[in-house]
Amino acid sequence: MQRVPEPELMDDPAQAEVYAAADFDEAHSRIVDAFEDYFPGLGLEGCVLDLGCGPGDISFRFAARHPACTVTGVDGSAAMLRLANRRRTIDAAGDRVAFIEGCIPGAPVPEVRYTAIISNSLLHHLHRPQVLWQTIASVADTGTLVYIVDLRRPQSADEARQLVGIYADGEPDILRRDFYNSLLAAFTPMEVEAQLVAAGMVALSVDVISDRHLVVHGTIGRGMPGAEADRSSGA
């Protein structure tokens, strides 16, 4: 099945409210838990960048799980970030989470050393997927952990509808519609692997983790785009 792109930004306030109110507890908990499966035994500390953070649920969960970290979330939707900043005032980890409005490439991402760069469900929104890998390369250093979770495209529209029926049964119509459109807009594991090759990030791996999800994971090493040695040499 050919990919069918969807809008890059979810900037409708009503849409943002529905997403912020939706019960993603189980799914988002698994995403945060799985980070430790891919990078076991780490006492993670320092700065974490969350690209495409939406209303910030993953950002807050990650900050709560790793109390020695600060998390900066970046998103292009003002509607989503209004909700994220509203939560900052009441969330226990709110003093270690900050949000920046901006689209990649070009978002005003702070130039600090990032211990980890994470993202959930951003890649399938991008009309030019290479901007994600280019952004990661521009802000990462040697040793930065990369953990990108996204949908993967099913083989047919019928399969996409079946997945909606299984995982979004009883959800608001806007969530069911967006889930279906996002499945059609997602990339296959082979397409993501090709993106990584084109970006020079062949040390990152792509794993299929469910009937609808994939994860890109790995560590930025010397000689890869974004590594300190490359940036210091002007490469």
Per-residue confidence (pLDDT) for residue 46, from 0 to 100: 95
Tell me how far apart the alpha carbons of residues 105 and 7 are, in angstroms, rounded to a whole number: 16
By the 8 A CB rule, do 50 and 135 touch? no
Model confidence, pTM? 0.89
pLDDT tens sequence across 135-177: 999 999 999 999 999 999 999 999 999 999 999 888 888 889 9
Quote the percentage of the chain above a pLDDT of 90: 74
11 confidence band (pLDDT: 50, 70, 90):
low
First to last CA, the chain: 38
Q: Where is pLDDT greater, at 28 or 13?
A: 28
Q: Which residues make Cβ contacts (< 8 Å) with residue 235, sequence separation at least 6?
A: none
Per-residue confidence (pLDDT) for residue 232, from 0 to 100: 38
By the 8 A CB rule, do 209 and 34 touch? yes
pLDDT tens sequence across 72-100: 999 999 989 999 999 999 999 999 999 99
Residue 117 DSSP SS3: strand
pLDDT tens sequence across 15-44: 666 666 665 678 888 999 999 999 997 789
Q: Where is pLDDT greater, at 228 or 231?
A: 228
